[in-house]
Structure 1
Amino acid sequence: MPPVLRRWVFLGHRWLGIGLAVFMLLWFVSGVVMLYVGYPKWTQAERLAALPPLAEPAAPLDWPRLATALAGQQPDAIRLTSVAGQPRLIVSGPGKRVRALDWQGQSLPGADAAAALAAAQALFPQSPVREQGLVDEDAWTHSKALDPLRPLYRVQVTHPADTLLYVSAQTGEVVRDASALERNWNWVGAWLHWLYPLRGGLLDAWWADIVITLSLLGCLLSVSGLWIGLLRWRMFGRFPNGSRSPYRPAWMRWHHWLGLGAGLLTLTWVFSGLMSMNPWKMFDSHALKPRSQAMAGASLAQAPFALSPWPGIASLAQQGFLAREVHWRVIAGQGHYQALDGMGRSRLWAAQANAPMRLRLSAVELEHAGQALLPSKVARAEWLSHYDFYYYSRAAHTMGGHQDKPLPVLRLQFADANATWVHLDPYSGTLLNSLDQHGRLKRWLFALLHSWDWLPLLSQRPLWDGVMIAASLGGTGLSLTALVIGWHRLRRRAPLGQNTHPARKPA
């Protein structure tokens, strides 16, 4: 390499290190916290466990009229749940609009502060609750999934866990909880790791661009550091200081050693963090998306729901299955109900007289329905009874860990241009997710490299914990030494290790 170019590489690494050392250090430290405490969320398991068993309202029910009213809403999703202990219909419609309906099919007004307190009190009947105002977004609600439910009432629950509950002003439901433990650890965990201090203020619109830019610069810093570290390391023989590293000051020498040992790992983590942001939409596919309605055979508005769900709910209760929530489903053009109990167990039945209860769809039914998702042929169909590299579950507190990943599932591999894979849920007859070539590439470049989501390792905890913590300590040490070196450089001190005190004048 020409001396001029080499000098620029050295200078670039130096000043990138001065500018990014704090960010790199925070990313490593906060990453360790996130191994055990994730960003607050209200998972389906928490929600179902907190809901009471469904009870039929005392008012007479005109089901044909209500079914017609529901169809007139042009719904994308309908579920029967409890809000403040009372049954409610929650309907999602065009534009991701979410609203609550009464048993006459009429939209209910948005929840007020009293309704928010009632919803919180229903979850914690023995604890005092206090409303803390209406917020659109705060430190614990930076999630796109909450956008259709905003604004949110914040309710403080006075009990040992000191929990904050967030109640949707649109539906009156509790949609997020954040205990004191989660909030306190998140200040040095996910809130820092994802640079959430930049969210919600003047820089909010540029948050994604800032994260992408910092990650790119972090990659340049890591690559240049690796190159310099290898260049300055003496493979054969030693320097006059007796070391293979030419640096005499301890901080510089430790930084050199740690860079050689943890530099590649640091580059891997910074690069995979960049991939999590989907820079330049590189993982977006413009191919035809799987069509859920084509698989269902009809929309919720078109499918017949001739029978109210209440007879089925009552029949399940007699069998010891206490439904906490019921979802409207369309399978092969026919209306169905899926009931979920407090442990997430499921029962399915058609919305017509004398329909049998069943646990799940047959393989033939599900595969036949799934073939309609795309116009291409199915190249391969397989049932997964165990998790694999592309379909697996993570701990609930982790990013993506709240997503329901039931087993068994049916995987269909289509022969389309993007080699699309889909996973179908036999318990609900719905599309769980789809992965084309872009999605599978992201699985490698983000989830594998960033979280080390490799089943043989994930299944061997605490081995996974030990490996992740040891690797994080290497990156932390590398960043910390860079921070100290940069601090000395900015203070314009003499080279590290040299006595900077003026010599005393002879008496």
Structure 2
Amino acid sequence: MKREEVDLAAQSTQRSKGSRLGWLNRWHKKLAWVAGIAVIFWGLTGVLHPIMSALSPKVQPLPAPAALPADLHPVTLHSLQLPAGQIQSARLRMLGEQPAWRIGLQGQASGLWYDAQNGKLLVNADAAEAERLARALVGDMQSPIARITPITEFSRSYPAINKMLPVWRVEFARDDGMVAFVDTEGRRLASLSDQTKRSLMPVFSLLHTWSWASEPVKKVGITLVLGIALLSMLGGLWMYWLRYRMGTLRSEQPRLRRLHRALGLGAGVAGLVITVSGLTHLWLQAAPFQAAKAQPLAQLPDLHHIPPGVAVLTAVNVAGKGYWLVEHAKKELQGNTPVSAHQHHASIAPSQLPDYLDAHGQPQPGLAQIHAMQLVRQLAPHDATVQNASVSKVSLISQFGGEYGFFQKRLPVYRVDLALPDQPSWYVEPATGTFSTRVDNADRFEGYLFANLHKWHWLDGLGKTSRDVILAGFAAVNVLLAVMGLCLLRRAKGRAGGRAGGRASR
């Protein structure tokens, strides 16, 4: 009797598993088309991303800025015939072979250059500097320039992801359609593209990030579609487990079904991880902080002496007074090109804080910390928490890495750590007073998940190329898995239609 009860219990359990398996199979088929198309689109664009990275035009490192002449006695800012309007920036540096003042005015795209030795206006110097920077970054000193255009607002050809305005668009007359966007204020690259990149990037943005959709539509739409794909993946893995427990995984079953099953077991887990991390990024990523605009220069400092070894002097206002922020001449300009763009989680040591000089070239100790916190408060004028917070640490970041990657564009920046419970770090550019980004503990957690689960930076030890190949391989296998599933679904519907037709004919 006991044995009969055991057999009945086993049969009941088997029937229960079979019932669940049938229910799962029906829903797996119902979700198949939406889930399959979603996996195909996101998987293919996921494969496309490392391909775009490999095919992107290579950026050449800029030579380090030359030191100002040791015997230079520049004309003062007050003696220059500056146009009416607020001065946004003032820098003294070399323009080719001559020392010059670069003046940035609010509301104007191009900077004004003056000979530092006699104060004469250098006509069209900013456009000429843009061409020189573009040629150096592209590594092309021979090709003619088709056109040079100042850019003052973001557009489809120069999207907001590039962050910097104003910039110059330098278009080369080349077969590959090379275009460089350069910032003459900070002597750096904003973006570099050719015809291949401009052809592939819209495809990625359209399908992978839904750049065509407004924010509510994007968030809800992506969540719905990826949620269906996620349920389909989970259902497929659950069906495999039930079949394994029931012993119905037979080798004589059709080859396509067995291959679909095997790929689903191996690549499906990777697909789950990528999908969940993508949804997590979509919902946990903080909206960009809307910082106030950088303040114009209210006080223009005098300059009577330049210490040796100085490459650039930038006028700044600290506590209502004018000073000079120093950039010393160095052997190599680091962090200004995408060479370090993928060092997202490398440990980057902060640099020593820069020097601040008075009009006589004398260092002013402690001004870096004061200036850094002043900038943070100016960028968040209506945030009482920031206004009343104390600073736990100020660091100078001169290379991309860690939580401050190439995506942020600007270097060098201050990292200002505030003594608050969520440990926010503000990244601000001291030379321009411009906000770069803000990161707190919630951002760090989300960034860690996204980097390691979606972009697989835990494989960085293998090298970027190897990591990209592995990730793209798993994405491609998931695409193949989706195509095979849709083929099985069509085959099953064809068989069902054939049986129905046979019954009708009888």
| TM superposition score normalised by structure 2 | 0.63
Give the number of equivalent residue pairs: 442
Shift of 1:89: 1.4
Aligned twin of 2:324: 337
Which amino acid in structure 1 is aligned with residue 477 of structure 2? G
Aligned twin of 1:283: 287
Aligned twin of 1:127: 141
Matches within 5 A, 1:386-425: 392-394=403-405, 396=406, 399-400=407-408, 402-404=409-411, 410-414=416-420, 420-422=424-426
Contact 2:372 2:394 survives alignment (8 Å): no
Render the CA deviation track for 1:20-64: whole Å, top value 9, x for unaligned.
Answer: 243122233124446x6486697xx945x2655557999983532
Matched residue of 2:102: which SS? strand
Contact 1:258 1:474 survives alignment (8 Å): no
Matched residue of 1:481: which SS? helix
Q: 1:79 to 1:19 in 2, by over 3 A?
A: farther
Which amino acid in structure 1 is aligned with residue 322 of structure 2? G
- Taking only the aligned residue pairs, the percentage that are identical comes to 13
For the aligned residue pairs, the C-alpha RMSD in angstroms reads 5.6
Contact 1:32 1:472 survives alignment (8 Å): yes
- Is 1:154 equivalent to 2:171 in the alignment? yes
Aligned twin of 1:30: 48
- Is 1:443 equivalent to 2:420 in the alignment? no
Contact 1:17 1:483 survives alignment (8 Å): no
- Is 1:481 equivalent to 2:481 in the alignment? yes
Aligned twin of 1:102: 113
Aligned twin of 1:73: 85
Q: 1:146 to 1:255 in 2, by over 3 A?
A: same
Contact 1:26 1:193 survives alignment (8 Å): no
Render the CA deviation track for 1:275-331: whole Å, top value 9, x for unaligned.
Answer: 59x6xxx63568xx6x797xxxxx5432241226xx42xx32xxxx351x4432222
Aligned twin of 1:296: none
Q: 1:363 to 1:403 in 2, by over 3 A?
A: closer
Contact 2:326 2:354 survives alignment (8 Å): yes
Shift of 1:185: 7.4
Shift of 1:232: 0.9
Aligned twin of 1:503: none
Which amino acid in structure 1 is aligned with residue 178 of structure 2? L
- In 1, Cα distance between the equivalents of 2:490 and 2:165? 47
Aligned twin of 1:194: 205
Which amino acid in structure 1 is aligned with residue 324 of structure 2? Y
Shift of 1:211: 6.0
Render the CA deviation track for 1:50-96: whole Å, top value 9, x for unaligned.
Answer: 65555799998353233x848x53244444456676645151525xx
Render the CA deviation track for 1:105-164: whole Å, top value 9, x for unaligned.
Answer: 97966977x886566567789831222346778997445546733672302479xxx893
Q: Unaligned regions of 5+ residues in structure 1, if any?
A: 294-298, 499-507
- Is 1:219 equivalent to 2:226 in the alignment? yes
When Rg is computed on C-alpha atoms for both structures, the one with the higher figure is: 2
Which of residues 241, 266, 272 in structure 1 aligns to 2:274? 266
- In 1, Cα distance between the equivalents of 2:161 and 2:82? 29
Matched residue of 1:148: which SS? coil
| TM superposition score normalised by structure 1 | 0.63
Shift of 1:477: 0.7
Shift of 1:262: 1.9
Of 166-175 and 441-450, more deviation after overlay is shown by 166-175
Structure showing the higher helix proportion among its residues: 2
Which amino acid in structure 2 is aligned with residue 414 of structure 1? L
Render the CA deviation track for 1:236-283: whole Å, top value 9, x for unaligned.
Answer: 53444437999962443234324542232121343255359x6xxx63
Which of residues 285, 298, 302 in structure 2 aligns to 1:302? 298
Shift of 1:451: 3.5
Which amino acid in structure 2 is aligned with residue 19 of structure 1? I
Q: 1:60 to 1:54 in 2, by over 3 A?
A: closer
Shift of 1:167: 5.5
Shift of 1:14: 0.9
Q: 1:405 to 1:148 in 2, by over 3 A?
A: closer
- In 1, Cα distance between the equivalents of 2:132 and 2:431? 33
Aligned twin of 1:91: 104
Q: 1:217 to 1:92 in 2, by over 3 A?
A: farther
